Amino acid sequence: MRIKSLTARVLLLTTLWSAVALVAIGLLISNIYRKNAERGFQDLLQAQLSSVVNAVTVNEQGALTGNPQLGDLRFAQPKTGWYWIVEPLGTYTSPPLVSPSLGASNLPVLSVLEAPFDKLYKRYYVVADAFGNRVQVAETEIQFDTDHAARFRVTGNVAVVEDDVRNFSHSLYFALVGFGVGSLIVNALAILYGLKPLDKARAALERIRAGESERLQGEFPREILPLANEVNALIESNRRIVERARMQVGNLAHSLKTPIAVLLNESRVLERSHGDLVKNQAEAMQGQVQSYLNRARIAAQRESVLARTEAEPALERLVRVMRRLNADKEFELSVAPHLVLAMEQQDLEETVGNLLENAARFATNKVRVVAVEAQPDVKGLDTARRYWAELVVEDDGPGLEPDQIREAMKRGRRLDESKPGTGLGLSIVTEITNEYQGRFDLSRGEWGGLRASLILPGLTKDVA
């Protein structure tokens, strides 16, 4: 399975490399120590063998004499595996000399084929004594005179070397494990500290994505600074594209405004049947042009950090206008403090204005407008954006049934032909809301009338 986290990849590779390296180092050091311990053990036996050779002679009667003193109490204690033996060779009869640790026991002797002598006429091999100890034997043969010779053997318990190597290996592995764990912790901290600028860059990008900032801000290391500069250059290029799109949209709207107005004026002087036809088609064309121009403009500036509108003053202006136009209706306004929307003021006024016109047209006595911060668990919204705002326009009119709501959302459909309008208002609201990746819902409100809910991108107080 592919690991997507850069930190996890580096930590995993570092951990694997450290584990392999420490195991290899541990085995290598342990093997080197074993060889040195075995070499030292063999040198000790060789020195003790020389001491025994120097301490034993043949007397006038042809008997072996001498009492080697090797300075090691283990040669005096039984069953220790530390022995020295001097055995006569040849035809003369003489009892062998043995260390007190061997007592009446004896050690097997390997043939020369199994363990040949070296250049110094010494040989080393491992056998088992009568007590089950594995002992290493250092052996040589000395010719005293033409008639007398003897085999000298000194042994040491192999368990001493094994115990020494085992204890050293345990200490070594414990130290390497501690060093490895410490190294992994230090490496992890170093990696996290080294990658921290990437987290800062990611957080800065999230702020831009959420509309909280216009540029990548912060101090970045030399490796990341070129990327930050390129992102800022891309944002600046996007800013210029937005401005150019706005200019082109304005030019196109201005160029189409006059021809459509001429058509509408000419429709008034034509015959009624032809005039109504031209008027209806011109109004439909005007609505279509305005709708697509709005869509092009919003698409050009969507996801841009340039769009931001304070909700309270914009909604107060709309409500103030509606109160003047509908003096017989009561308008209530409630806006959360410091609520800022990540959208153009023109788009906000067009969406809420259409909803207010519909509410005022069908309301009996009163209309209510509420703007608050949306709950973070609203489904169907972009999870990358951390703040959303909810705008509710509600009236006390007759309201709509669910099947009527579905019919009203269709473009150009009017459920009440007795009321003025083109039937494009709700479809325009839907298009603008969708372009901002928000949501638009209709339902029956608390007063029994129509409740229109808008979920729109918002910003925090700090950004505003």
pLDDT in tens, 411-455: 545 445 444 444 456 778 888 888 788 888 888 888 888 888 988
Cβ-Cβ contacts under 8 Å for 344 (sequence gap 6 or more): 297, 298, 301, 307, 309
pLDDT at residue 402, as a whole number? 81
pLDDT at residue 429, as a whole number? 85
Residue 213 and residue 228 in contact, taking contact as beta carbons nearer than 8 Å: no
**Span 389-410, mean pLDDT?**
83
Instruction: Flag whether pLDDT at 121 surpasses 60.
Output: yes
DSSP code string of 225-283 = HHHHHHHHHHHHHHHHHHHHHHHHHHHHHHHHHHHHHHHHHHHHHS-HHHHHHHHHHHH
Confidence of residue 127 (pLDDT cuts 50, 70, 90): very high
pLDDT at residue 412, as a whole number? 46
Residue 82 and residue 153 in contact, taking contact as beta carbons nearer than 8 Å: no
User: What is the C-alpha to C-alpha distance for residues 196 and 202, in angstroms, rounded to an integer?
Assistant: 10
Provide Rg for the chain, Cα atoms. 50
| Helix ranges (DSSP H) in 111-224 | 158-209
Averaged confidence pLDDT in the chain: 81
Confidence of residue 39 (pLDDT cuts 50, 70, 90): very high
- How does pLDDT run across 144-193, given as a tens digit for each residue? 887 888 999 999 999 999 999 999 999 999 999 999 889 888 888 888 88
DSSP code string of 12-62 = HHHHHHHHHHHHHHHHHHHHHHHHHHHHHHHHHHHHHHHHHHHH-EE-TTS
Enumerate helices (H) and strands (E) in the chain, giving the number of each. 8, 14
Residue 331 and residue 319 in contact, taking contact as beta carbons nearer than 8 Å: yes
**Span 6-25, mean pLDDT?**
86
**Dihedral, CA atoms, 299, 301, 305, 311, nearest 10 degrees?**
-80
Among residues 314, 295, 339, the alpha carbon closest in space to that of 457 is found at 339
Confidence of residue 44 (pLDDT cuts 50, 70, 90): very high
Confidence of residue 381 (pLDDT cuts 50, 70, 90): low
- How does pLDDT run across 275-311, given as a tens digit for each residue? 777 777 777 777 667 666 666 656 555 545 456 788 8
Overall size of the chain counted in residues: 464
The predicted model scores a pTM of 0.51
Instruction: Flag whether pLDDT at 266 surpasses 70.
Output: yes
Instruction: Flag whether pLDDT at 244 surpasses 70.
Output: yes
